Amino acid sequence: MTQRIYNSMSERVEEFTPLEPGRVGMYTCGPTVHDRAQIGNLRTFLAEDLLRRQLEYQGLEVTQVMNITDVDDKIITKARAAGQSLEEFTAPYVAAFFRDLELLAVEPAAVYPRATQYIPQMLQLVQRLLDNGSAYVSEGSVYFRISSFPAYGKLTHLDTAGLRSGASGRVDADEYEAKEQVRDFALWKAGEPGDLASWPSPYGWGRPGWHLECSAMSMDRLGETFDIHCGGVDNKFPHHENEIAQSEAATGKQFVRYWVHAEHLLVGGVKMAKSLGNFITLETLMEHGHDPMAVRFLLLTGAHYRHKLQFQEELLEAAERDVSRLATFWRRCLESEGLPGESDELVGLATTGLERFDRAMEDDLRLPDAVAALFDLVREGNRLMDAGRVGVDGARAALAALAAADRRLGVIERRALRADFLSPEEKALLERREAARRARDFALSDQLRDQLLGMGIQVEDTKAGTRWRRA
């Protein structure tokens, strides 16, 4: 019943034991709000949601912190171009981000601190680093002196001395002139007074370097050593490596105990990214008629979180069928309450099904495997129900197992219970069809059924009577 999780630092699956029994501190790198999140970003947040839900399922009390980066070069450039303040420019993207999370049933973090609210804490951290010789001031900026931190590179296992600076072709060499060494990174960037992103500091006006905020916020909210730090794989280097350096150099303590990284979402074989122009947002998918629960299901179960996931919009159709199948079975269990049936093979199947699900989840969140157990349960449950061999106990047990799984999966109940109501016109159509069908006027009955389907209502005739659902 203990959780196992892959730790990027050790490069192996480890047993998870929190620093403080029963409580977990979890920091998750959040969005930089210069644009709408694309679904590759969302995949990472969903993986983090899955981990958090799993830990809570195991009875742990999780304090999750997710930062919002509301000051960085892109934001500054765009805000300046729009003639807006940082706050004005980022507000709509912050709102859109929270809306996406809510649509995807992501459980809210305890706090969402923003970089612009943490300037004092960041400056304190900079001062500590200057005081102990880990940093230096140069031309109004402050840089971290990597040569002072021998463990640098321990997360990504890179030999930074041999790094080919600029190998990615993304860096302008001029940027390095003020540094002692090319690999040193900025803690504080010199700026101009009165600029839309400039704060006073002992080193002059300026703004924080990107890595600094995560160290300042995480240690402020979770302590100088905390349990879990998550993010996308592309944040391992340099972001997380730099966080480790500046945090551990400042405190002399281990910064993070377990590093958890989610893999990329690929499209057409390559990483989905804003800069590549191959990105897609949740909003777009919804405009295409896709259900957010299908998006959640696909991003979470389409592949294990540490594996790349090939996104194709057609896969969402399959995901929709999957979610619908689970939700249909859920409702069928609800409706089975009170049926006589025989007791009750389904009770045992529900138990073993959930055990299989839990076992897979405990082993580094192997959700794709866990879901297979769920589908086995659904198939068996349907089979037994078709045969009239399910009673109250079985239905309840199956429902309980599904609910337990859904505490992690997070799609079944939401889909099963989603607002289902009929407009007066729809209701009238349904009643007319009922009357026609009773009169065995199948031509009219079928025509009305087609009409309803065109309106998104699937009509089903069962032994127990006619029912309907939103297709």
Partner RNA sequence: GGCGACUUAGCCAAGUGGUAAGGCAGCGGUCUGCAAAACCGCGAUCCCGGGUUCGAUUCCCGGAGUCGCCUCCA
Restricting to residues 17-76, name those near RNA by CB under 7 A.
29, 31-32, 38, 40-41, 43-44, 72-74
The reply to whether 459 sits near RNA by the rule CB under 7 A is yes
The reply to whether 265 sits near RNA by the rule CB under 7 A is yes
Assess whether the previous peptide bond of 150 is cis (omega < 30° from 0): no
Residue nearer to RNA on the CB measure, 18 or 279: 279
The nearest distance, CB 400 to RNA, in angstroms, is: 19
Q: Do 48 and 86 contact (CB within 8 A), yes or no? A: no
Half-sphere exposure of 49 (CA within 13 A, CB side): 24
The interface with RNA within residues 360-399 (CB under 7 A) comprises 366, 368-369, 371-372, 375-376, 378-379, 382-383, 385-386
Question: Per CB under 7 A, which region of 86-94, 271-279, 340-348, 414-422 contacts RNA?
Answer: 271-279
The interface with RNA within residues 282-341 (CB under 7 A) comprises 302-304, 307-310, 312, 314-315, 317-318, 321-322, 324-325, 328-329
Strand partners, 228: 26, 258
The nearest distance, CB 55 to RNA, in angstroms, is: 19
Q: Do 185 and 215 contact (CB within 8 A), yes or no? A: no
The interface with RNA within residues 399-428 (CB under 7 A) comprises none
Q: Do 304 and 367 contact (CB within 8 A), yes or no? A: yes
Q: How far apart are CA 271 and CA 390, in angstroms?
A: 47
Of 89, 97, 149, 185, the one binding RNA by CB under 7 A: 185
Residue nearer to RNA on the CB measure, 18 or 303: 303
What is the total count of residues that contact RNA (CB under 7 A)? Answer: 92
Residue nearer to RNA on the CB measure, 14 or 19: 14
The nearest distance, CB 366 to RNA, in angstroms, is: 4
Q: How far apart are CA 110 and CA 63, in angstroms?
A: 6
Phi and psi (nearest 5°) for 229? -130, 125
SS (H, E, C) 419-441: CCCCCHHHHHHHHHHHHHHHCCC
Question: Per CB under 7 A, which region of 15-23, 154-162, 247-255, 333-341 contacts RNA?
Answer: 154-162
> Which string of x and - marks every residue 245-264 that binds RNA (by CB under 7 A)?
-----------------xxx
The reply to whether 12 sits near RNA by the rule CB under 7 A is no
Q: How far apart are CA 253 and CA 246, in angstroms?
A: 11
The interface with RNA within residues 113-142 (CB under 7 A) comprises none
The nearest distance, CB 425 to RNA, in angstroms, is: 20
CA distances from 318 to 291, 301, 375 (A): 12, 12, 14
Residue nearer to RNA on the CB measure, 168 or 252: 168
**Percentages (nearest 5) of helix, strand, coil residues in the chain:** 50, 15, 35
Residue nearer to RNA on the CB measure, 158 or 404: 158
**If you search the block for the tokens 């407009």, which residue do you land on?**
423
The nearest distance, CB 421 to RNA, in angstroms, is: 19
The reply to whether 147 sits near RNA by the rule CB under 7 A is no
Q: Do 49 and 107 contact (CB within 8 A), yes or no? A: yes
